[in-house]
Amino acid sequence: MRLATVRTQAGTRAVRLDADTAVETGDADVGALLRRPDWRDRAAEAAGPTHSVDDLDYAPLVPNPEKILCVGANYRDHIAEMGRQPPEFPTLFAKFPPTLIGAYDDVLLPSVSDAVDWEAELALVIGKTVRHVSAEEAPEAIAGYTVLNDVSVRDYQNRTLQWLQGKMFEATTPIGPALVTPDELLGDSSPGATVNAEISTEVDGEVLQHSDTGQLVFGPYDLIAYISAIVTLNPGDVITTGTPGGVGHARKPPRYLTDGATLTTRIAGIGECRNVCRKEKL
């Protein structure tokens, strides 16, 4: 099953994406849907107003998550290009809801920086409240997977040892277009099934990141176990799993996003975000 949040004349609506149509579930967005204990049945049985999938205006998949928890230095190829050693524990930081944009919205390049970088990421969305779960129990907490680009303002990120200030600029982070439930994405309902998908970034059609989620140091289940020992995870929370090699900041010379560039973030089996970069005007 595929779910999305779309903009309509009446406001945002959660929809189930079928082959040619999007069917409203009766909820304002996917986050609101996931907060219902029966969200799977509600989405599967939805029979509300319909829209053509060709005409959808995608809002951020979860417009107002309680938490956006991100993981740095989590792909072996990215760790190698940065000249680091694999971490013993996940490196965590956060984003806030105002950073999020829809799958085809413009990325806002901050006026204060010319060092804005791309970071393709597999993201997962929580569908069940969990605390202190094991990696074996973690699959039950995942509503589904989606595409995200952790667009990063590198000069601000590297001003201090803490990364947050380079990660929290508004309207920089595309997410979507759809949440794909694990049974559809993995094609395997066994507890140990994991995502092993091609992931890439293109800028103006040039492939700059190309890897596989098999390169993850800490996979989705390990991350849920680790994070749920720190904080309760609630439906609609987003966890991003890190980016592969090929970021602009690691290139020699460094390369960054520019006004008018088209940023395409793609994960096989899930979909793609396609965003035009626009320089902020004061």
Pairing mode of beta strands 107-109, 271-279: parallel
What domains are there in the chain, each with its CATH number?
1-59 (no CATH), 61-279 (3.90.850.10)
From CA 2, how far away is CA 109, in angstroms rounded? 30
Assess whether pLDDT exceeds 80 at residue 191: no
From CA 158, how far away is CA 135, in angstroms rounded? 32
* Three-state secondary-structure class, residue 46: coil
**By CB neighbour count within 10 A (0-12 exposed, 13-18 middle, 19+ buried), where does 79 fall?**
buried
Pairing mode of beta strands 11-17, 173-180: unpaired
User: What are the tokens at 47?
Assistant: 């029979």
**By CB neighbour count within 10 A (0-12 exposed, 13-18 middle, 19+ buried), where does 132 fall?**
exposed
From CA 139, how far away is CA 224, in angstroms rounded? 9
39-56 pLDDT, tens digit per residue, is 999 999 999 999 999 999
**For residues 253 and 73, which has the higher predicted lDDT (pLDDT)?**
253
Assess whether pLDDT exceeds 70 at residue 190: no
143-189 pLDDT, tens digit per residue, is 999 999 999 999 999 999 999 999 999 999 999 999 999 999 987 65
From CA 39, how far away is CA 132, in angstroms rounded? 23
pLDDT of residue 111: 98
Count CB neighbours of 66 within 10 A: 17
Average of pLDDT values for 95-112? 98
pLDDT of residue 194: 82
Mean pLDDT of the chain: 95
204-257 pLDDT, tens digit per residue, is 999 999 999 999 999 999 999 999 999 999 999 999 999 999 999 999 999 999
Confidence of residue 86 (pLDDT cuts 50, 70, 90): confident
Question: Using a CB cutoff of 8 Å and minimum separation of 24, what contacts does 38-41 make?
Answer: 39/127, 39/143, 39/235, 40/1, 40/181
- Residue 264 near residue 202 (C-beta atoms within 8 A): yes
- Residue 43 near residue 32 (C-beta atoms within 8 A): no
Percent pLDDT > 70 in the chain is 98
pLDDT of residue 192: 62
pLDDT of residue 80: 86
pLDDT of residue 81: 83
- Tell me the β-bridge partners of 139: none
Where b means 16+ CB within 10 Å and e means fewer, 10-45 reads: eebbbbbbeeeebbbbbbbbbbbbbeeeebbebbee
pTM recorded for the entire structure: 0.96
